[in-house]
Amino acid sequence: MAVVMKSRIELSGKTAIVTGGTRGLGRDIAARLAESGCSVFICSRNAPESLPDGVTFESCDIRDADQAKAFVDKVAAKTGRIDILVNNAGGSPPHEASTASSRFAEAIVRLNMLGPLYMSQAAYPYMAKAGSGSIVNIASVSGARPSPGTAIYGAAKAGLINLTQSLAQEWGKEGIRVNAIIAGLMTTENAEATYGDAEAQAKVGASMPLGRMGIGDDLAGAVLWLVSDLAQWVSGARLQVDGGGERPYFLDLVKGA
C-alpha cells in the first residue's frame, strides 16, 4: 500500500501552471504544488466539478497555439510571473497504426508533443525575463520503448523527450530548466481501459520491482523535486518514475510461465 506524504518542499510566492490538471495525475500534481505554497493554475477544455484548495481553473485547448499563449498571458497578468510549467495533458486511446486516420494521428501528436511546445513557448518570455523558470514535461515509458497498439502516442512522447533535452540546451542560458519525467505504469481513473479490471491491475502491480503500480503522489513528488532548488543544477534530465521498471517478458517465457 502506497503511503501519501505531505510535501516538505517550500514554493511560496511562485506561480505554477499544470495542463490537464482537472483530474487524475494532473490534479494530484496541482494539489501538491498548491500545498507547497504555489499559486496554481490548471487548464483543460472542460471545467471540473471541484478544485483542490489554492487551484484556479481556466478553459484552454493547449493544442491551439493562440489559446495556449492567451492562457499563459492571462495567468502572468494576474500574478506578474510564471515560475513553473508542468506539461501534463496527454494520452491516447488504443489504436492500431495500420488503420489510424491522418486526423487521429495529427490529434495525438498535437496533444502530446505540440501542446507542450506551445505552452513552453508561451511561458518562455516570462521565465527568460525573470532569469529563471522550471518546465517539467510528463512523458511516458511508451516514448522510451516500443508501444504496440499506441504507436503514434509513443512516437509523440519520444518527440517530447527529445524536445525536453533540446529546449534545456537552447534555454539554459536564460536560467530556464527543462526536464522530463518518464512515467511508468500508473493507476488513474482510466486504468481499466489500459490494464484491465482490478484483478488484472493487481497482477500488473505485483510483477513490478516495488510491488505496485504508481499513483498520482508518486508523480507529484518527482515534480516537486524537479521544480525546487534541490534540483537547481538538473536540466535536460529524463527522470524515470516507474517503480523499478517493467519485468522483461522473456524471463517468464524462459521459465515456461
At 114-125, the pLDDT tens digits run 999 999 999 999
pLDDT of residue 159: 98
pLDDT of residue 257: 59
- Counting Cα atoms < 13 Å in the Cβ hemisphere of 161 gives 20
At 21-64, the pLDDT tens digits run 998 999 999 999 999 999 999 999 888 888 989 999 999 999 99
pLDDT of residue 35: 96
- Map out the domains of the chain as residue ranges: 15-243
pLDDT at 196 over 80: no
pLDDT of residue 245: 85
Percent of the chain with pLDDT over 90: 74
Catalytic residue among 118, 124, 126, 153: 153
Percent of the chain with pLDDT over 70: 93
- DSSP assignment string, 76-143: HHHHS---EEEE---------GGG--HHHHHHHHIIIIIHHHHHHHHHHHHHHHHT-EEEEEEEEGGG
pLDDT of residue 72: 98
pLDDT at 3 over 60: no
Place of cell 510566492: 13
Query: Is 55 or 246 the better-scoring residue by pLDDT?
Result: 55
pLDDT of residue 152: 98
pLDDT of residue 192: 65
The whole-number average pLDDT for the span 75-91 is 97
**CATH for the stretch 15-243:** 3.40.50.720
pLDDT at 255 over 70: yes
Confidence class of residue 247 from pLDDT cuts 50, 70 and 90? Answer: confident
pTM for this entry: 0.91
- DSSP assignment string, the chain: -----------TT-EEEEETTTSHHHHHHHHHHHHTT-EEEEEESS--S---TTEEEEE--TTSHHHHHHHHHHHHHHHS---EEEE---------GGG--HHHHHHHHIIIIIHHHHHHHHHHHHHHHHT-EEEEEEEEGGGTS--TT-HHHHHHHHHHHHHHHHHHHHHGGGTEEEEEEEE-SB--TTHHHHH-SHHHHHHHHHTSTTSS-B-HHHHHHHHHHHHSGGGTT--S-EEEESTT-PPPHHHHHHTT-
pLDDT of residue 204: 77
At 200-229, the pLDDT tens digits run 778 877 878 788 888 889 999 999 999 999
At 146-189, the pLDDT tens digits run 999 999 999 999 999 999 999 999 999 999 999 999 998 888 76
pLDDT of residue 193: 60
The answer to whether residue 126 is catalytic is no
pLDDT at 2 over 60: no
At 11-29, the pLDDT tens digits run 999 999 999 999 899 999 9
pLDDT of residue 248: 77
